[in-house]
Amino acid sequence: MPSRKALVRRPSPRLAEGLVTHVERTPVDPVRALEQWEGYVGALRAHGWETVEVEPADDCPDGVFVEDTVVMFRNVALICRSGAQSRRPEAAAVEEAVARLGCSVNRVREPGTLDGGDVLKAGDTMYVGRGGRTNAAGVAQVRAAFEPLGARVVAVPISRVLHLKSAVTALPDGTVVGYEPLVEASSLFPRFLPVPEEAGAHVVLLGGGRLLMAASAPKSADLFADLGYEPVVVDIGEFEKLEGCVTCLSVRLRDLRP
């Protein structure tokens, strides 16, 4: 049976200092953010996921966006080296966490840079966004780590969003969903479905046709429901102020060996 563990990390008290690149900075309420994070974690647990809390990184404002620190394929973890130098200290505790779970661990090496939010998996295909946080050497190291395991790595240019998964994610059948004004290369995806809201491009597959998504995309939720999926809606508004989305706040580990 596939594993259903999810790495999460509680927000830093310094969350409001988090980096922003493509949006105007607006005030973040740390108390409200913690409540929203607890609601997000509760939604994962309510749908059968065992959450594994990574050691807090209180000195790292962006540490809650744990997805950016590691890329998983099967039982192999590739520890990222962020293109934002200030975020690199976030990775050490995540490496310890995945090693404790029995993962084989590799690391992105200089001069490569890679943020996990730039990697979208759809089946055995790994789309890797080449943009501000992930460079060509980082893409090459994703290929080196995962193509021998059967992955197909496809580089995708991005410039309008922070990460590839800020623009696109994928439904259970492999269809890539995205908000068209932010998607630069939809032709790279065999099946592409435009959604009516930016936040509608972000879904986390919970299993059984359930899609975890943000409350800020009600029209997209209706679209997915019409397609036979079950939206599971959470409010992550404080994290959206920092270019965060539902994918950023966890790392789903589906293929751990018993």
Q: Is the pLDDT of residue 258 over 80?
A: no
pLDDT > 70 in the chain, percent: 99
Burial 174-195 (b: 16+ CB within 10 A, else e): eebbbbeebbbbbeebeebbeb
* Residue 194, beta-bridge partner list: 178
CA dist., res. 138 & res. 227, Å (int)? 36
For residue 62, report the phi and psi dihedrals to the nearest 5 degrees. Answer: -95, 10
Q: CB burial class (10 A; 0-12, 13-18, 19+) of residue 173? A: exposed
245 is catalytic: no
Q: Is the pLDDT of residue 62 over 70?
A: yes
Q: Which residue in the list 60, 80, 103, 248 is annotated as catalytic?
A: 248
* Confidence at 2, pLDDT banded by 50, 70, 90: confident
Express each pLDDT in 198-213 by its tens digit.
Answer: 999 999 999 999 999 9
Query: What's the predicted TM-score (pTM) here?
Result: 0.97
* Confidence at 83, pLDDT banded by 50, 70, 90: very high
User: How high is the mean pLDDT of the chain?
Assistant: 97
Q: Which residue in the list 60, 163, 202, 245 is annotated as catalytic?
A: 163
CA dist., res. 7 & res. 66, Å (int)? 7
What number of CA atoms fall less than 13 Å from residue 252's CA on the CB side?
21
* Residue 210, beta-bridge partner list: 207, 230
103 is catalytic: no
- Per the rule left: phi > 0, alpha: psi between -120 and 50, beta: everything else, 80 is beta
Q: pLDDT value at position 191?
A: 97
**Average of per-residue pLDDT across 152-181:** 97
Express each pLDDT in 125-153 by its tens digit.
Answer: 999 999 999 999 999 999 999 999 999 99
Express each pLDDT in 21-53 by its tens digit.
Answer: 999 999 999 999 999 999 999 999 999 999 999
Other CB atoms closer than 10 Å to residue 24's CB: what's the count?
Answer: 6
CA dist., res. 71 & res. 226, Å (int)? 31
- Per the rule left: phi > 0, alpha: psi between -120 and 50, beta: everything else, 194 is beta
In single-letter form, the type of residue at position 207 comes to: G
Q: pLDDT value at position 252?
A: 97
Q: pLDDT value at position 256?
A: 85
Q: Is the pLDDT of residue 1 over 70?
A: no
**Average of per-residue pLDDT across 77-98:** 98
CA dist., res. 127 & res. 179, Å (int)? 17
